A and B are shown apart, each in its own frame.
Chain A
């Protein structure tokens, strides 16, 4: 066997550049799950980037309708942003509570996260409803089309996140902190934080740049 080992090693590193570090073997389930979910999040961000690109291309095409500075309300956006950033923090608290298997703090963290998410969604929904009521719906101009799509896509993600959050709480309630439940909790936390990062992009590109024009 030692002969093969040397032969194999020589073959893998014919020029003796350095010592070959042997791959230790398949990774654990926890690592595989989190890694796969990271890859999914990257793909999701690629999708968002298409909507960002569409917004960048179309943001000037108001077709006689309103421009961003005429319809954006800084105060609402500020509240939305604070809600989401805070919810990221509480979601982190819930994750820590799950890791130390503390049910009380887990439920509390998740509940606060959920409430903050719902406040965010309510404000966004009212903003959309108000715009549509004033005749500035997505079919008014290409600018509004891209605005509604980009912000709405993020909103849909948050809504899906809230559904997932409630499912996670139900799972912990019914199954406890089982290994597979904890893996899912880790994925949920990654998802929620990723939405936060996307929101930072939305806030900067849409609301900050848009209000300045």
Chain B
């Protein structure tokens, strides 16, 4: 579904991502882990068009994504969340989701869409992330955990086929992390998901496969069980 081959990103003499191959299969949850500075977020930024690769190809459903803008890539069906939650502090949850649900190319012409009603889609997405009671809450008044859920909801509302979650549990307490896990489990099968996360227990629990990055290169891609048994992974990532 999403295929990355030979992906390389150099910043002057620093190689942030080095010849990375990654394949995301339909319906799978794929973990992407590695120590700080391993190139995880850079890889996500390359796939989503925030950065241009120095070398390599990124194909989504047979189409080359290299050189496309983030908004074009998003419209093709690749959504992402962020390490630092990105939202609109002055807008309600409902307006957030309306912006995500509607046709993003029809903006000025929306003046003719007076009857456009997305309430059912908005309600369904809000329920998936447990925000159905907060639809009329202004986003800045949400708790940190709820803002994380809103970030996830935005991606779901876009009707993406592939979702890249960049540390969806960052800064969350135990119960909120459990909620994120529950939400992600419920998405299994509906989307191809790439999850970058430092919480190794969360990644092990929900991933079908895990890719481990180290110094910008792929150390291994395997099932969670095999990855945690891999001596190289234990050495570079778990410090054993």
- Say whether A associates with B: no
